[in-house]
């Protein structure tokens, strides 16, 4: 009789665990773009044109403009990396939250 009671209890637990659905997973309110620094949304301003129209002035302008281009390109690469890592993190969180568990525990 005790074995039957244990079997009935285990059967009830397994039946109840089967009724439990997968948890609802929602994305966080703040998206991946919120991780990008706000001042990056303004872009990178170009270098000021030289006031003196000398060769040296134009060389200094070209050097400054190239530096600004490097800065803008760096932000682009960094932004893409931030968003890719954020999306990968979110996908992994969904996988962990929705994986099947034995008896809803393991």
User: Structure pTM?
Assistant: 0.57
- pLDDT of 96 reads 85
**Other CB atoms closer than 10 Å to residue 35's CB: what's the count?**
12
- pLDDT of 58 reads 95
- pLDDT of 21 reads 52
- pLDDT of 25 reads 52
- 67, 68, 71, 77 alpha-carbon torsion, rounded to 10°: -110
The range of the structural domain enclosing residue 95 comes to 2-104
- pLDDT of 81 reads 94
Digits of tens for pLDDT over the chain (106 positions)? 566 555 555 566 655 555 555 455 555 557 888 888 999 888 899 999 999 889 999 999 999 999 999 999 999 999 999 999 999 999 998 888 887 777 766 6
How far is 43 from 1, CA to CA, in rounded Å? 77
**What is the domain count for the chain?**
1
């Amino acid at each position: 009789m005790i074995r039957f009671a244990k079997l009935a209890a285990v059967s009830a637990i397994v039946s109840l665990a089967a009724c439990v659905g997968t948890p609802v997973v929602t994305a966080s309110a703040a998206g991946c773009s919120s991780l990008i620094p706000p001042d990056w949304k303004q872009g990178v301003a170009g270098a000021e044109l030289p006031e003196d129209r000398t060769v040296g002035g134009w060389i200094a302008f070209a050097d400054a403009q190239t530096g600004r281009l490097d800065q803008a390109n760096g932000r682009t690469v960094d932004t893409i990396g931030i968003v890719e890592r954020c999306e990968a993190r979110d996908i992994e969180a969904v996988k962990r939250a929705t994986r099947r568990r034995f008896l809803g525990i393991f």
